[in-house]
Amino acid sequence: MKKMARCLYPIVLATLVFAQRADRSAITGVVTDPTNTPVPGAVVKVRNVDTGVETALNTNESGAYSSPSLVLGTYSVTVEAQGFKTTSRTDIRAVGGQVVRQDVKLELGSVNEQVTVAASTEILSTTNADVTHSVDSTYYNNLPVVMGGDIRLAEALLQLQPGFTPMKPNGDPMFRGSQFGSRLNGGQSFAMENFFDGVAFGYAAGHQQSHESAPPIESIGEMKVITASFSAQYGHSSGGTVEYSSKAGTKDYHGSLYEYFANDKLNARGFFPDKVSKVRNNAFGFTVGGPVKLGKLYDGSNKTFFFTNWDWLRFRAGVLPGFGNTTPVDAFKQGDFSQLLTGRSAGVDALGNNIADGAIYDPGSNRNVNGIPVRDPFPGNRIPANRISPIARTIVPLMVGPDRGGLAFNVAGNPNGDQTWHGDFRTIMFRVDHNFNEKFKTTSSFFWPHRPAIRNCGEVGGCTTQFDPRTGSAKPELAGSVRRIDTSRSGRSSCLPAT
């Protein structure tokens, strides 16, 4: 029964996708003559500039037209009517989940005469009251999604969204730019829901771990964030919903090869750390898309299109500098700082006395010698109990104790041993768009993230055993808490008709 349920899962999701709107748009408008009288029976051709697919419509008795659901992209609208010049509107951007209003006023003349105008689009949303914010592929192409000690995540551009509160830094060298633990529109942490082509992949009950299965940036056509007045299908989140739509193939073949890398040899040390933290990351892959052509067997020009993105990441990074925590050892809490003495000299004072490296000096012994302040060290570098203030005696018991040896970095967050984080990720995205006729179009997409990793110790707790999900399935022995991930595989499939 379990195997059967897993096989049926994508199919069940496909039936639910009929209610999703983020990866579809529509164009509507009214056709009028020079006196603003509606023109019924006019032929309206809505053409996808990217694929060449054209949908023919007719205006009704009120001169209005409305297209079926359209794949996201750039469109043109051409109107023909007897006794009028042929009029075209170009550069119409179809935005996910929105209806684009494009009215056309015809001019008297012959149909053979052409009038072309760059469109000024108006987003019309009368069927719902969603408050949304969209980020298309232009932003992903032009804005830097930094790969330093992190990986490239599609959700990184949520930083553009008003009301988005990112996760706090925690020393995690992996997924620092993720939305894990973030909040949207005043909602709770872990309370956003994420969709890819209409299928949920990061949700509240799953702690919103969208970074564990987020699609590659190169496969994203548009990201849409819904923050208020949710429609019926968005009932699982308190703060908002994030919907990603994949790229679609076009009438021409296009492809790309890419690699993004980071290496600590190219990094500066920084002000605080004594050395550069290890960073050896390589993200690489390719994209290809276009019409489906199978030699003499099938020619899908203007009918069937595909797009695929294969993405790999080899991630090796150490604990981030600046997040190693230090707490006083028990002797320090009793006023005994003798362990700080190194035996080295830091020079001499105005009286010629040796200044011991690591020594603590008594502020009550302060005096001036020839205008130069001089103090005496506490004997043995120990502060007498009667010199410790009542406030300090109250605070000291509340301080966390060390959970490993040493005076520095002795609290979980920068543990001993090899703390290199490993990630070997592979993600495959594949999409096919097919046009059966002008009123029936389908989109099928497949998304498969495979993300085994070794993660050594988080901010709050430490771990005593490394865990490699590629070779084992048992949990490690815990000392505090461990953040870990098992091998993840998932297939997503969606199918949406135009009407």
Higher pLDDT, residue 159 or 36: 36
Pair of tokens at residue 296: 């003499």
pLDDT for 68 equals 85
pLDDT tens digits, 348-376:
888 888 888 989 999 989 998 888 899 99
3 state DSSP class of 202: strand
Most confident of 257-261, 306-310, 461-465: 306-310
Higher pLDDT, residue 90 or 455: 90
Q: Which CATH class is domain 18-124?
A: mainly beta
Buried b (16+ CB within 10 A) or exposed e, 338-373: eeeeeeeeeeebeeeeeebeebbbeeeeeeeeeeee
- pLDDT beyond 90 at 307: yes
pLDDT tens digits, 405-441:
778 767 654 444 456 778 888 889 999 999 888 778 8
Domain boundaries, the chain: 18-124, 131-322+418-479, 330-398
Strands 70-71 and 24-32: antiparallel
Q: If you average pLDDT over residues 387-401, what whole number do you get?
A: 88
Per-residue confidence band for 204, with pLDDT thresholds at 50, 70 and 90: low
- Does CATH place domain 131-322+418-479 in 3.40.190.10? no
Q: Are the C-beta atoms of 489 and 448 separated by less than 8 Å? A: yes
- pLDDT beyond 60 at 7: no
